[in-house]
A = this chain, B = another copy of it.
Amino acid sequence: SRLEESVKKTVAHNPVVVYSKSWCSYSSEVKSLFKKLGVKPLVIELDELGAQGPQVQKVLERLTGQHTVPNVFIGGKQVGGCTDTVKLYHKGELESLLSKATAK
């Protein structure tokens, strides 16, 4: 669908993308982790897209199998949610993923 193409394009053309909900603390935690690492992700607040919000969430579920927020992409690849991103950080793997993605 056209929406699916636009989501695919968004994650391909931006080094770090976070699909979020503005009032969700797990989404905020991921956004502040990137801020702490000096990274400015493209943040898309699904609850601020009006009728398209639930539709984009369905596309994300189709593309990634994940219907929850936050949904994080780095270098065009889906990383997962908040706990996944924080785990990568604690294992020291997040920073190398970020430098590869932002170096392109």
Q: Which residues of A contact B (CB under 8 A)?
A: 23-26, 68, 82
Cα-based distance from A68 to B24 in the complex (angstroms): 10
Chain B neighbourhood of A23, CB < 8 A: 68
Cα-based distance from A47 to B13 in the complex (angstroms): 37
Chain B neighbourhood of A25, CB < 8 A: 24-26, 82
Chain B neighbourhood of A68, CB < 8 A: 23
Shortest distance between the CB of A3 and any CB in chain B (Å): 23
Cα-based distance from A59 to B25 in the complex (angstroms): 22
Cα-based distance from A30 to B25 in the complex (angstroms): 13
Cα-based distance from A24 to B24 in the complex (angstroms): 8
Cα-based distance from A23 to B71 in the complex (angstroms): 15
Greatest chain B CB density within 10 A among A23, A24, A25 is at: A25
7 A-B pairs with C-beta separation under 8 A: A23-B68, A24-B24, A24-B25, A25-B25, A25-B26, A25-B82, A26-B26
Chain B neighbourhood of A24, CB < 8 A: 24-25
Cα-based distance from A68 to B26 in the complex (angstroms): 14
